[in-house]
Amino acid sequence: MSETILLDHGAGGRASAELVASVFARHLNNPILAELDDAAVLPAPAGRLAVSTDSFVVDPIFFPGGDIGSLAVHGTVNDVAMRGARPLYLTAAFVLEEGLPLADLERVVASMARAAKQAGVAVIAGDTKVVGRGQADKLFINTTGIGLIPDGVEVGAHLARPGDAVLVSGSMGDHGVTIMATRQGLGLEAPLASDSAPLNGLTAALLAACPGLHVLRDPTRGGLATALNEIAARSGVSIELNEQAIPIDPAVAGVCELLGLDPLYLANEGKLICLLPEAQAPAGLEALRAHPLGGRAAVIGRAGQAHPGRVWLNTAVGGRRILDMLSGEPLPRIC
């Protein structure tokens, strides 16, 4: 077999079949995928399903803390988990650029397989297309996730109430700053790594500890500030944050200062925001901190009703400023 991707690999003939067998089926194998028929056939679980789809175009495709393959699993698993669902299945569609080294593709697919295993999901359907040189950049991946929402669980961005405590599971901005620094080839002394991780274990622990939880959200593109603006608008509440309570890694803060970036607007790929009744905040915090991905969890603010849709930041120096939605695109191809 050729050592790079050829147009032939996407033509649906012998080369395509070889690629599927030697890379995709080999790494992602499970009984449903193994049928390799026109559609996967699944048992239908009773209850409500959560479905989410996302395309991943991150540049570079390998970065400290992950790669486009693990990110494509985590991003979609996390969106499904943010509705309180237990992720079960993923589909994966690949757009490959002619000339992509086969070794790079294999590294990405093996990483996807490890990430899926860790998250407890099976990749049950897939597709591969190849485009000519320059018509795509190395590879793009689309994943769709399907999860089951347990009975009685009702979480969504529209369910925040005045008086809710606002929690985050850890430090903000790690993924965005890592991609930016890697892309710019900054030879930084500070060890930066993406936080890319599956959050379904964390959400399950949180839902078990706090059955009255209102909102779960992963602050990906647009960061914490944009996600909270969406929640405030959808729920008709205001949100007030204490800057000093928001965990930010010193290395991330340093690079942000150097590059003129605000960590509150940078993408995270392994952190969640949670809004829940104030009385349940201690239990929520405890559940988050007991999990390996939530060690730096913190209560960072509170929802109110004074200015519905507004997000305020009480700054470390005693000021007060409005945190607006992200406008423009400071970091294209971040995920």
Q: Which is nearer to Mg ion, 100 or 157 (CB)?
A: 157
Residue selected from 67, 79, 195, 243 as contacting Mg ion according to rule CB under 5 A: 79
Stretch that binds Mg ion, among 71-79, 160-168, 177-185, 276-284 (CB under 5 A): 71-79
The count of residues interacting with Mg ion (CB under 5 A) is 2
Q: Which is nearer to Mg ion, 77 or 102 (CB)?
A: 77
Q: Which is nearer to Mg ion, 23 or 157 (CB)?
A: 157
Q: Which is nearer to Mg ion, 23 or 168 (CB)?
A: 168
The answer to whether the CB of 97 falls within 8 A of the CB of 139 is yes
Stretch that binds Mg ion, among 122-130, 171-179, 216-224, 283-291 (CB under 5 A): 216-224
Smallest gap from Cβ 218 to Mg ion, in A, equals: 4
Smallest gap from Cβ 33 to Mg ion, in A, equals: 26
Smallest gap from Cβ 206 to Mg ion, in A, equals: 16
Smallest gap from Cβ 217 to Mg ion, in A, equals: 6
Q: Which is nearer to Mg ion, 138 or 271 (CB)?
A: 271
Smallest gap from Cβ 79 to Mg ion, in A, equals: 4
Residue selected from 164, 174, 195, 218 as contacting Mg ion according to rule CB under 5 A: 218
Q: Which is nearer to Mg ion, 105 or 225 (CB)?
A: 225
98 is a site residue for Mg ion (CB under 5 A): no
Stretch that binds Mg ion, among 79-87, 151-159, 184-192, 303-311 (CB under 5 A): 79-87
Q: Which residues bind Mg ion (CB under 5 A)?
A: 79, 218
